[in-house]
Every structure is written in structure tokens, then in C-alpha cells.
């Protein structure tokens, strides 16, 4: 079965969350703290829990407190959870193999649970198909059921025909049975179970093996349940961990540690120098007065060995993020081969993880969990939201005087609730600037236009243009370039266009000193203008650029009015009494290039071609 939707009502902060569509692989509940995300997962978990603990609704703890007195008598029949499942082919085969082809008329069924913890099924039975199957199996003509509207009428007709041996035998078989209930029971055994994991479920670094083994599941704390999962994963029930013989015990410990290490470090990329070590410490048990000394009890010690520093620490002393990551994989792996289908409920997974660690976790969810299990997780971290899969997201909001609401509707949600999605989208957009691995950092958007226009023009003339592998990226000014390159230079193949000669900007020169960028990748425009400072506008002849400025709606200036200086941009600003729009001339040239490019002098074209010839060999 696959979960299609879930509807939570009358549970903690939720009066009516609305019907929440569940994706076939991963569903992400996004919302602020205290918005009701955890309440939704808890209600869903209680429908069909795997662990057994906290599996029942308790009206005293769970029903919305402000309504409890007014609705006390009606509470037992209220249904805090209603879920729609769709039968898969193996479910259909299991039912139809017993009750006949078409015994249910819809593959979608609804399962509910009330505050009396009674689970109810809403299934569309096809009694005609069931009757036909029963008659065929008894060797009777299917026409016998003609006129019977339901199984009750059918059973009555069989009773009336007891003089027919086949009818009498079939009546004897069916009279004490409830076929609808049997179908319900068959489906109940196939209902997926929910595995719930949160930050309270992390594994203790040391625990008493004997106590964990003998403790009832219902009485366990969440972290004790994870400890039990580790023992199950390590197959500790064989008794090898508690044997006094060293070699068998050591073999069992090393086998379990290797299994867990391989599993965890396939996805944990933050530190590859770690490995798991398991050891048993035998601790004497305090004896009561006048009692015989009891045998010492085994405690399992989980340690993490760091090969880089040649030291091991108890598992509980590792980072919060690593503890969560390790604990969840241990817990999941102990149950991943369950006979029943699992749906994983993860409450704020990876809360203590660095952004890169959260990326590891998302990869784990997509590669290890989602192919075989539906996953529903909550988050308020933008790094746990995949911008390329926003369809997974459901927005959770605690609405004043209404309670928790869950929706896919972005426009109806507050800014605070949307923040993780906005942050994730902003991060993705910033990454999308680097659509190739070869990036040319320029000062602003006008530089991009000039480079593009002249590259195309030169290529059409069978001359050297800018290699199309270069992606031009505006930095917003020379002052931003050092930070820009420091953040991204290690990940990308970068070249930087400078408006000053190399060696004239200390911060940029430091990029070379600390080996963030090679010297040859700092390309100064002054190399092509023979001036100590240059903008790309200095590639043009003075008269052409001033005419371009006038035609684009900029200042009407004559060359004679410009003062001395190396950069035409600064000279124009001085004559104009302030800054002007640098982009407008570039945009005007773009729109009118068919008319204007033939007017470009040879020296300008040579400068652009020399620049492109300098840049292209920097491509790896």
C-alpha cells in the first residue's frame, strides 16, 4: 500500500489541518518552530506504529485542551487521524486470491483511528464479485446470486436452498463468517507501519545489554529503543556478546562494527577518517546484604576511532549531528528488512548538521530510503529543502484562532513560514549563476554585453571570439571581487577581469599569495589599453563612446569638455557632475549593433580580439 493523503484533526495544536497530499517518495513539511509539524507526524505514527511505544491516543494528553471540557462526551468517537492508502498490485493479488477478482471496487481505501484507539476501514466492497467467486469455488452456477443485492441476501438464499447439496455446503461454510471483516483483516496485515525518529531517539554511547534485552518495548525510552535496534542489527541475540570466551565475542563485535561503519560512512562525507569500534565492559552488580555475589553484567561501549588523530572517543562525545546521523542509520537498518512496508517519519532530521552534512542526509534520503519507502520529514532549515523539488514541500502554519494548517499553497502562507523555501531558492539561484565550470568574473552587466557583442562580431568575421565555455558572472564591483573569489574560487575554474593593473590592489593580490587564484588568471584590461587604469569602455575610441552615450539618452558631452585622466568613465562623471548609467550605452549598442558595429574602428576590434586570445587558453 502507498499512502496518498493524511488528514489530522482534534489533536494537540491541530483542530483541522486539512487533507495533506503525500508524495510517493518524499514529502517535506516546512514551518516555524511550534507550528504543529511534530503533531502531524505523531498523529500519523499512532495509526500504525512500528515501535509499539506511544502508539495509542490519550484524550487527556492529545485532545486540544481548550475544547476538552465543552466536547468531553464526544471525544471518544472523534477520529484524530484519517489516511487514504492506494493498494498496490501485490495487495490486490493477496485479496483477490482469496475473495475473488474484483472483490473490492476501488484501490483506494481510508483507514481511521479514534480516541478509543479503534481502527476502522472504509472499503468499497463488490459483493457481486465476491458471490460469483464463492459460487464458482463451490461448483455452482453464478446465476444463482441473481437478485441478491448484498452478502446478507445471498446467505439467506443459500439457506433457503439447503435441499441443494452444494448450496447447503456453501451455506455451512459462510454462515459464521463475515467476509467484509476478513477482507479488512487481510488488508490490516498489509497496512504499512510507521517508523518514527526524532532527536530524542539518539543512541546512548554506553548501555547495559542485559537490561535493554529484557525490557518491554512499551516501557522503553526512545534512545533505549535505538539501543535495542543496535543489538538487533548486531545479532546480539546469539549470545556472543555475553560469552566469557574472548575470541567469539571479539569476532561478533568486529563484524557488527564493520557492518555499521560501512553503512554510516557510505553517506557521511564530513570526516572519512572515522570508524566504529564496539567493546564490552563487564561491570559488577551491587549485591544486596547477605546475598550471593551476582555475575557481572555486560555493558556495550560504542567508540569512534579517528585515524587522523589516532584516538577514540565514546560515541556520545561526538558532535550532535554525527550522533543523530549514526543513530538514525543504525535504527533504520535494524528494521529495513521488515516484512511489512515501512513509512519513515523523521522529525527535524539533521538539526545539528552543517549544511554539507544536511546535503549528505538529503542524498541518503533520496538514494537509500526513498526507492523503497515513503519518507515524511519536517524541517525549518533551507538546506533540507531541495529547490529542484519544491513539489515535495507542504507548508505548516499555526493560524491564530484556527490552529495548525497544512497546505501546498504558497500565496496563503506567511513570510516566516516561507523563509526556508525562499532561502533555498535564493541559494539555488546564486548557484545557477555558475552554470558552467569555467567562469569569467567581470565588474557589472555592461561588461557582459560588450564581451558578448564583440565576441559574436569577431567570430562572424572569422576572427577570435570569446570561447562559449566561459560564463560571464557580474561581481558588482572591484571591491566585491576578493570575497567573491575567496568563496567560490576553490570550487570553480575562474578568471577575473581587472580594471587596474595587477599589483595595484592589495586584496586582489592576496588571492594570489594565498593560492586561491593563479596570477595568470588575473587579467587586467590595462594590458590592452596601455594605461595604468582602464574600464572596458576604454577599449572604444573616445569619439565613438561619447556618441554612443548621447544616442542612448546619456549626457551630451564633447571630447573637448573632458578633463585629463586615464578612464573615460571617470572623466565623463567629472564633466557631468555625477554618476551616469553605464548600462544604457551597452544596451543601446546591443539593440542597434547591425548599424553601429560597422562603424567600429580596427583598433577597438583588435583590443577585444587580444583580450579573447588572452582568456581562451585559461580554459582547462
State the Cα–Cα distance between residues 140 and 249, nearest whole angstrom: 64
At residue 465, the pLDDT reads: 94
Residue found by looking up cell 574560487 in the block:
489
Q: What is the pLDDT of residues 230-254, one digit of tens each?
A: 887 776 655 555 556 677 777 777 8
What is the predicted pLDDT for the residue at 247?
A: 78
Mean pLDDT, residues 562-584: 88
**pLDDT surpasses 90 at 490:** no
pTM of the model: 0.70
Contact predicate 101/129, CB 8 Å: yes
Does 426 have pLDDT greater than 60? Answer: no
Alpha-carbon distance of 546 to 348, in angstroms, equals 60
Q: pLDDT tens for residues 163-190?
A: 899 999 999 989 899 999 999 999 999 9
Q: Which band of pLDDT confidence, cut at 50, 70 and 90, is reported for residue 529?
A: very high
Of 9, 89, 69, nearest in space to 44 by CA: 9
- Among 258-262, 365-369, 410-414, the range with the most confident prediction by mean pLDDT is 365-369
Which has more confidence, 145 or 81? Answer: 81
- With cut-offs at 50, 70 and 90, classify the pLDDT of residue 466: very high
17 touches 100 (CB < 8 A): no
Give yes or no for residue 389 having a pLDDT over 90.
no
Between these two residues, 515 and 134, which has the higher pLDDT value?
A: 134
pLDDT of 484: 61
Range of weakest confidence among 79-93, 231-245, 323-337, 517-531 = 231-245
Q: What is the pLDDT of residue 308?
A: 86
User: Taking all residues of the chain, what is their mean pLDDT, rounded to a whole number?
Assistant: 85
Please report the pLDDT score of residue 63 as a whole number: 94
- Average pLDDT of span 473-502: 66
Q: Give the pLDDT score at 615.
A: 94
Stretch 529-537: mean pLDDT: 89
Percent of the chain with pLDDT over 90: 41
Q: How far is CA 40 from CA 112, 177, 405, in A?
A: 14, 37, 10
Model confidence at 80, pLDDT cuts 50, 70, 90, reads very high
Geometric angle at alpha carbon 197, from 419 and 328, rounded to 5°: 100
The mean pLDDT of 277-296, rounded to a whole number, is 74
Cα(554)–Cα(9) distance, integer angstroms? 64
Average pLDDT over every residue of 308-324: 87
**Alpha carbon of 81 to those of 109, 122, 385, 392: distances in Å?**
14, 13, 26, 21
**What's residue 501's pLDDT?**
53
pLDDT confidence tier of residue 299, bands split at 50, 70 and 90: confident
Grid cell of 246 as nine digits: 574472548
More confident residue, 612 or 411: 612
> Across residues 495-502, what is the average pLDDT?
74
Long-range contacts of range 546-549, CB-CB < 8 Å, 24 or more positions apart? 546/572, 548/585, 548/588, 548/589, 548/596, 549/580, 549/585
What are the pLDDT digits (tens) for 331-347?
A: 888 788 777 899 999 99
pLDDT recorded at residue 1: 93
Tens-digit pLDDT profile for residues 91-113: 999 999 999 999 999 999 999 99
Of 114 and 216, which is predicted with more confidence? 114
Alpha carbon of 387 to those of 221, 236, 423: distances in Å? 36, 42, 9
Could you tell me the three cell numbers for 539? 577599449
Average pLDDT over residues 444-463: 92
Which DSSP string do the residues of 236-282 spell out, in sequence order? GGGSGGG-S-HHHHHHHHHHHHHHHHHHHHTT--S-TTEEEEEEEEE
* 258-262, 315-319, 589-593: the lowest-pLDDT one: 258-262
- Give 372-400 as a DSSP string: TSEEEEEE--GGGS-GGGGGGEEEEEEET
Going by pLDDT thresholds of 50, 70 and 90, the confidence category of residue 436 is low
Digit-coded pLDDT (tens) for 178-222: 999 999 999 999 999 999 998 888 889 998 888 888 888 777 888
- pLDDT of res. 597: 94
Give the number of residues written for the chain.
620
Q: Using 50, 70 and 90 to split pLDDT, how confident is the model at 290?
A: low
Percent of the chain with pLDDT over 70: 86
Q: What's the pLDDT tens digit per position in 15-64?
A: 999 999 999 999 999 988 888 999 999 999 999 998 767 789 999 999 99
In the structure, what pLDDT confidence band is assigned to residue 156 with cuts at 50, 70 and 90? Answer: very high
More confident residue, 145 or 290: 145
- Indicate if the pLDDT at residue 580 is higher than 60: yes
37's CB contacts (< 8 A; 6+ apart) are 29, 31, 347, 348, 378, 396
Task: In whole angstroms, give the CA distance from residue 387 to residue 389.
Answer: 5
Q: Residue 475 pLDDT more than 80? A: no
Give the model's pLDDT for residue 263.
79
Amino acid at each position: 500500500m502507498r499512502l496518498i493523503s493524511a488528514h489530522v484533526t482534534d489533536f494537540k495544536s491541530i483542530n483541522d489541518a486539512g487533507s495533506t497530499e503525500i508524495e510517493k517518495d518524499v514529502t517535506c513539511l516546512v514551518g516555524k518552530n511550534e507550528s504543529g509539524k511534530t503533531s502531524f507526524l505523531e498523529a500519523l505514527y499512532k495509526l500504525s506504529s512500528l515501535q509499539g511505544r506511544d502508539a495509542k491516543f490519550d484524550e487527556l494528553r492529545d485532545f486540544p485542551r481548550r475544547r476538552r471540557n465543552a466536547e468531553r462526551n464526544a471525544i471518544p468517537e472523534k477520529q484524530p487521524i484519517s489516511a487514504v492508502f492506494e493498494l498496490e498490485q501485490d495487495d490486490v493479488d493477496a485479496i483477490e486470491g482469496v475473495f475473488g477478482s474484483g472483490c473490492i471496487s476501488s484501490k483506494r481505501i481510508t483507514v481511521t483511528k479514534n480516541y478509543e484507539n479503534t481502527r476502522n476501514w472504509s472499503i468499497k466492497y463488490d459483493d457481486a464479485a465476491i458471490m460469483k467467486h464463492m459460487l464458482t469455488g463451490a461448483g455452482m452456477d453464478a446465476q444463482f446470486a441473481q437478485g441478491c443485492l448484498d452478502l446478507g441476501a445471498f446467505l439467506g438464499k443459500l439457506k433457503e436452498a439447503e435441499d441443494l447439496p452444494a448450496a447447503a455446503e456453501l451455506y455451512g461454510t459462510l454462515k459464521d463468517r463475515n467476509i467484509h471483516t476478513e477482507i479488512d483483516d487481510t488488508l490490516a496485515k498489509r497496512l504499512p507501519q510507521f517508523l518514527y525518529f526524532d532527536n530524542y531517539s539518539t543512541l546512548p554511547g554506553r548501555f547495559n545489554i542485559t537490561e535493554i534485552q529484557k525490557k518491554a518495548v512499551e516501557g522503553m525510552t526512545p534512545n533505549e529503543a535505538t539501543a535495542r535496534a543496535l543489538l538487533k542489527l548486531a545479532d546480539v541475540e546469539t549470545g556472543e556478546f555475553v560469552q566469557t570466551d574472548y575470541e567469539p565475542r571479539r569476532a561478533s563485535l568486529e563484524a557488527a562494527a564493520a557492518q555499521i561503519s560501512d553503512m554510516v560512512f557510505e553517506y557521511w562525507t564530513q570526516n572519512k577518517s572515522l570508524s566504529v569500534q564496539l567493546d564490552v565492559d563487564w561491570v559488577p552488580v551491587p549485591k544486596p546484604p547477605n546475598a550471593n555475589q551476582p555475575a557481572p553484567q555486560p555493558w556495550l561501549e560504542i567508540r569512534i576511532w579517528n585515524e587522523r588523530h589516532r584516538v577514540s572517543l565514546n560515541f556520545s562525545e561526538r558532535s550532535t549531528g554525527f550522533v543523530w546521523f549514526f543513530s538514525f542509520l543504525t535504527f533504520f537498518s535494524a528494521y529495513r528488512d521488515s516484512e511489512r512496508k515501512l513509512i519513515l517519519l523523521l522529525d527535524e532530521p539533521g538539526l545539528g548538521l552543517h549544511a554539507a552534512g544536511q546535503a549528505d542526509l538529503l542524498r541518503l534520503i533520496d538514494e537509500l530510503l526513498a526507492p523503497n519507502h515513503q519518507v515524511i520529514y519536517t524541517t525549518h532549515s533551507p538546506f533540507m529543502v531541495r529547490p529542484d523539488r519544491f513539489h515535495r514541500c507542504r507548508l505548516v502554519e499555526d493560524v491564530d484562532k484556527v490552529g495548525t494548517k497544512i497546505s501546498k499553497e504558497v500565496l496563503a502562507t506567511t513570510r516566516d513560514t516561507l523563509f526556508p523555501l525562499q532561502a533555498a531558492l535564493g541559494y539555488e539561484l546564486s548557484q545557477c549563476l555558475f552554470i558552467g565550470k569555467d567562469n569569467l568574473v567581470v565588474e557589472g552587466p555592461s561588461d557582459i554585453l560588450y564581451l558578448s557583442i564583440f565576441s559574436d562580431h569577431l567570430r562572424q568575421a572569422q576572427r577570435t571570439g570569446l570561447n562559449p565555455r566561459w560564463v560571464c558572472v557580474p561581481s558588482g564591483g572591484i571591491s566585491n571581487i576578493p570575497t567573491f573569489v575567496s568563496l567560490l574560487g576553490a570550487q570553480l575554474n575562474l578568471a577575473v577581469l581587472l580594471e587596474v593593473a595587477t599589483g595595484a590592489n592589495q586584496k586582489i593580490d592576496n588571492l594570489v599569495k594565498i593560492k586561491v587564484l593563479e596570477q595568470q588568471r588575473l587579467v587586467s584590461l590595462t594590458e590592452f589599453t596601455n594605461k595604468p587604469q582602464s574600464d572596458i569602455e576604454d577599449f572604444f575610441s573616445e569619439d565613438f563612446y561619447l556618441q554612443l552615450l548621447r544616442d542612448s539618452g546619456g549626457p551630451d558631452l564633447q571630447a573637448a569638455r573632458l578633463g585629463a585622466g586615464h578612464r573615460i568613465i571617470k572623466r565623463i562623471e567629472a564633466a557631468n557632475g555625477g554618476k551616469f548609467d553605464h548600462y544604457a550605452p551597452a544596451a543601446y549598442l546591443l539593440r542597434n549593433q547591425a548599424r553601429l558595429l560597422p562603424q567600429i574602428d580596427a583598433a577597438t576590434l583588435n583590443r577585444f580580439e587580444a583580450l579573447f586570445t588572452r582568456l581562451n587558453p585559461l580554459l582547462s
